[in-house]
């Protein structure tokens, strides 16, 4: 269980992020076109999982836009922005904000992602959403970098996450 904060108040997650060096758990998430997506759908690409509570918050929006700009410079890297947001809301956000290089995925049909990745928030005002975290996977879906952001209102460490992805190119 990760102990993190939301605006300074303690909250907990269901578990911990997958260990570096372990095989990433598969998932079933929903894309903007309402199709189910699994980890295998992204093939041998390096994957940056940008896990957020909701794109309707300023920090989550900033992280999606920052990763969108950075991944545009990288071949063979995909950013999967994962939240509990409905695909309609995520699509609207991307269209409004000009986010074109990030794939939005929703946990709307299957809640196992949050459990398997240890990011379900258990208590506090955001209970039921996902905590802010970044996981970088290599082309064979081995975990190469993780960050459980300690304060929900804080941005992830883009430099470290991007360096981990670039080291795999």
| Residues known to be catalytic | 60
Backbone angles phi, psi at 104, to 5 degrees: -90, 135
Q: What is the DSSP string of the chain?
A: --EEEETTEEEEBSS-PPPTTSBPPP--EE-TTS-EE-GGGGTTSEEEEEE-S-TTSHHHHHHHHHHHHHHTT-TTEEEEEEESS-HHHHHHHHHHHT--SEEEEE-SS-THHHHHTT-BB-SSTTTTSBPPEEEEE-TT-BEEEEEE-SBTTS---HHHHHHHHHTT-
């Amino acid at each position: 269980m990760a102990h993190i904060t939301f605006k300074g108040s303690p909250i907990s997650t269901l578990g911990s992020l997958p260990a570096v060096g372990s095989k990433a758990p598969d998932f079933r998430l929903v894309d903007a076109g309402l199709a189910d997506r699994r980890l295998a759908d992204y093939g041998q690409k390096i994957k940056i999982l940008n896990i957020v509570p909701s794109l309707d918050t300023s920090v989550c929006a900033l992280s999606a836009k920052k990763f969108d700009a950075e991944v545009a410079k990288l071949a063979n890297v995909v950013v999967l922005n994962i939240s509990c947001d409905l695909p309609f809301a995520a699509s609207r956000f991307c269209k409004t904000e000009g986010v074109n290089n990030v794939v939005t995925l929703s946990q709307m049909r299957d809640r196992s992602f949050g459990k398997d990745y240890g990011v379900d928030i258990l208590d506090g005002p955001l209970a039921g959403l996902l905590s802010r975290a970044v996981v970088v996977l290599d082309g064979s879906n081995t975990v190469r970098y993780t960050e459980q952001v300690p304060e929900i209102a804080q941005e992830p460490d883009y430099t470290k996450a991007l360096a981990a992805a670039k080291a795999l190119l």
